[in-house]
Amino acid sequence: MPKKGGKHTEVGKEMQAQCKRAKVEAACSPSLMSYESPESLFGSLISPIKEEMFFREYWEQKPLLVQRNDPLLAAYYQSLFQFSDLKELCCQGLYYGRDVNICRCVNGKKKVLNKEGKVSYMQLKKDFDQKKATVQFHQPQRFKVFILQLEGEKHWRLYKPTVHLAREYNVESEDRIGSPTHEFILKPGDLLYFPRGTIHQADTPLGISRSTHVTISTYQNNSWGDFLLDAIPGLVFDTAKEEVVLRTSIPRQLLMQVDIADSTKKLSSILRMLADRLENTRKLRSSDMKKDFIMNRLPPCLGNDSNSLTPGGKLPKLDSKIRLQFRDHAIITVEPDQENADEIRKEMVYVYHSLKNRRETHMMGAEDDAASEEGTSQQTHGLRFPLSYLDALKQIWSNTIVCVKELHLISDEEKENLALALWTECLIEVI
């Protein structure tokens, strides 16, 4: 085991002071988890830390420990799920590997104890109680919105993130990691946040028979690098239409050369030209990241009506006033026509949304790929319009309420057709 990290750094001291304040405030105001909306859920998750303070002082900057040691708050995250709830879920059909992993740490290495096929609750409980195995429950949000209860204590160590360590995926010895920068004992009701890239390790302290925690990963694949990989191809494509230099041939035999140092100067000048163009136009298209985000997003949380999202209310007419709903679940992109395989494809407007995404396949990756052969995979849902519809769509997205006849389209028929198409997909409502 790594040695204890000794005294915390100044960041740690500030964090400890904040944690003490958080614990006192929490004890005075025993709030419970709120599932009324995504905003209220996140607010209660980090309570008593306010959302504004969290993103200003902690988000991707430094760790945050919120302690709720008060007996009244020990079950703060118990809410809707406990270990015993796995019994009911096993009856619904959980599978080893896909839904649950049973594993142990043997001589410093992970050993998987999975059986074949469906998970047996009795076998799962036996592995948990007798073999002291770890039960990993994958993507629990597929079944219900919940926060897992912390049972017992857990000892966390955080290590200073570096480029070298971030690439060290298969660490053979803990000595290569170095000493931890922070160490925490998490008790029931506690919350620990640490920024992206933080190397961490969790242990059950001596004398504690078991511990349970939930790991919530957010904002994956949303770095500036990811965004550039998505947006730069569009910038190059658009610029090549106007700049001859991007349409000239690369030097002969360039692709066969080992050393292309002579060509880097030319590439550098092209990149500077692209940067200048971006600075002047301020237009950078991103389509793939937007589609991926929407395709993998959970559908709106509608409470008891979550499975009955269908068009309702009055049909939109020319004189109707309409309003966009589920704004955070729909995006607009401009892309080459996907239904036209010609070499020269005109641009079209696409509206993608997550209203029809399936909770039961959320973030299951390869499972979705396998299901695609049966036609049941989660896919991108949306609508396709001519480029002339872009201004009208922006009008709907930027206004609280808009009259159909005031949409920026030439004919009344186009205005009604646009409104009807969005209404059919449950993206707008008639006021």
Split at pLDDT 50, 70, 90, the class of 133 is confident
Q: Is the pLDDT of residue 198 over 90?
A: no
Contacts within 8 Å (CB) and 24+ apart, 131-134: 131/104, 132/104, 132/210, 133/102, 133/103, 133/104, 134/102, 134/103, 134/104, 134/105
SS3 string, 202-254, reads EECCCCCCCCCCCCCCCCCCCCHHHHHHHHHHHHHHHHHCCCHHHHCCCCCCH
Query: Which pTM was predicted?
Result: 0.66
pLDDT digits (tens, 9 = 90+) for 73-109: 777 777 656 667 778 788 878 889 888 888 887 777 8
Tell me the two tokens of residue 124: 């799962």
Buried b (16+ CB within 10 A) or exposed e, 354-371: bbebbbebbbbeebbeee
Among 2-6, 87-91, 409-413, the minimum mean pLDDT is found in 2-6
Phi, psi values for residue 141, rounded to 5°: -65, -10
The confidence score (pLDDT) of residue 375 equals 39
Main-chain phi, psi angles of 233, to 5 degrees: -55, -40
**Domains annotated on the chain, with CATH:** 1-77+145-219 (2.60.120.650), 82-143 (no CATH), 224-281 (1.10.10.1500), 292-430 (3.90.930.40)
Closest Cα partner for 351 from 422, 430, 429?
422
In this prediction, residue 418 has a pLDDT band, given cuts at 50, 70 and 90, of: very high
What pLDDT is attached to residue 12? 39
pLDDT tens per residue across span 273-296: 999 988 887 777 777 888 888 877
If pLDDT is split at 50, 70 and 90, which confidence band does 143 have? Answer: low
Average pLDDT, whole number, for the chain? Answer: 76
Run of H or E including 109? strand 109-112
pLDDT, average across residues 195-200:
82
